Amino acid sequence: MPNEADGFDLKLMRKPVIAGNWKMYKTVGDSVATAVALKPLVANANHCEVVIAPVFTALKSVADRLEGSNVHVAGQDCATEVSEGAFTGEVAAFMLADAGCSHVIVGHSERRQYFLETDPIVSKKVQAGIAAGLMVIMCVGETLDQRDQGKAQSVVSEQLVGGLSGLTASDLDRIIVAYEPVWAIGTGRTATPEQAQEMHAFIRRVFAERHSPGAADALRILYGGSVKPDNIAGLMKQADIDGALVGGASLKAESFAEIVNYNK
């Protein structure tokens, strides 16, 4: 059995990821201005990967302005279809890559809740992202009701297994998992570092059983849900928390930079 010290040794092998999810906020002009303001504030952040996810319409302009910097750009969603076709309103993963994205977020709880995305849909999007050469940030997380009913682990495990079905061993290093308890998103109610750690360790165990212990040791698992400059350090001290997916506090360059620079 690995002991706690081993857990921290393994953590050192995983490069943390701090990702900002801008949701449906900001015009192209506002997105570019925030990205340009962020760039110098995180230029020395070599300890982690920095990612921002603007709205679709702003991706190309933001990516162009960030070219050559350490700030990566992500789409907030992608189509289930891999190739182009007659799918009004959809954007294919390869089009995100073409616009300058290196990452894509899939299966966010707002997509699951308001746009009825199921695990089979999320799974197709994961595969489309991988086929386009993107890093895929797949979100999982239980609602408050599910937690109160003692179903948090079974819900998360089902989302994890369902969303990642059909992947080959070589796909796994393109996957990042974000654990975002729905009751903590945008509510100001963060999971405690201990609650988050417990679920992250569980996710890593499920991933190890499903795929391999080696792949599980290498998997980055981000926490999301009311992450702020004043709670990031406590979360990052946990053995299985490898970064954060940040909503509200990523909209301002200064507060997002404080989160990125949690080690300062």
Q: Catalytic residue numbers?
A: 108, 180
Cα 165–Cα 179–Cα 146 angle in degrees, nearest 5: 90
225 interacts with ligand PGA by CB under 6 A: yes
Residue 245 found at the interface with ligand PGA (CB under 6 A): yes
- Interface residue with ligand PGA among 16, 75, 224, 243 (CB under 6 A) is 224
Of 25 and 208, the one with the shorter C-beta distance to ligand PGA is 25
Least Cβ distance, residue 15 to ligand PGA (angstroms): 20
* Distance set, CA 188 to CA 66, 135, 225, 226 (Å): 30, 28, 8, 5
Position of tokens 């994890």?
A: 160
State which residue, 29 or 186, has the beta carbon closest to ligand PGA: 186
Task: Report the alpha-carbon distance of residue 243 to residue 246 in Å, rounded.
Answer: 10
Please tell me whether residue 258 binds ligand PGA under the rule CB under 6 A. Answer: no
Which range in 40-48, 93-101, 119-127, 242-250 contacts ligand PGA by CB under 6 A?
242-250
Nearest approach, Cβ of residue 169 and ligand PGA (Å): 28
Strands 49-53 and 103-106: unpaired
Which residue, 21 or 238, is less far from ligand PGA as judged by CB? 21
Tell me how far, at minimum, the Cβ of 21 lies from ligand PGA, in Å. Answer: 4
Nearest approach in angstroms of CB 190 to ligand PGA is 8
- H helices then E strands: how many in the chain? 12, 8
Q: 76 or 80, CB closer to ligand PGA?
A: 76
Q: Is 260 an interacting residue with respect to ligand PGA (CB under 6 A)?
A: no
Point out the residue whose Cβ comes nearest to ligand PGA: 247
Burial of 25 (0-12, 13-18, 19+ CB in 10 A): middle
User: Does 140 sit near ligand PGA (CB under 6 A)?
Assistant: no
Binding to ligand PGA (CB under 6 A): which residues in 26-85?
Answer: none
In the chain, the largest separation of any two C-alpha atoms, in whole Å, equals 53
Instruction: Rank residues 243 and 247 by Cβ distance to ligand PGA and give the closer one.
Output: 247
DSSP state of 12: H
CB of residue 77 to ligand PGA, shortest distance in Å: 12
Burial of 148 (0-12, 13-18, 19+ CB in 10 A): exposed
- Residues 31, 35: Cα–Cα separation, whole Å: 6
One-character DSSP codes across 154-197: HHHHHHHHHHTTT--GGGGGGEEEEE--GGGTTSS-PPPHHHHH
Residues 173-212 that bind ligand PGA (CB under 6 A): 180, 185-186
Name which of 18 and 172 has its Cβ closer to ligand PGA: 18
Residues forming the site for ligand PGA (CB under 6 A): 21, 180, 185-186, 224-227, 245-249
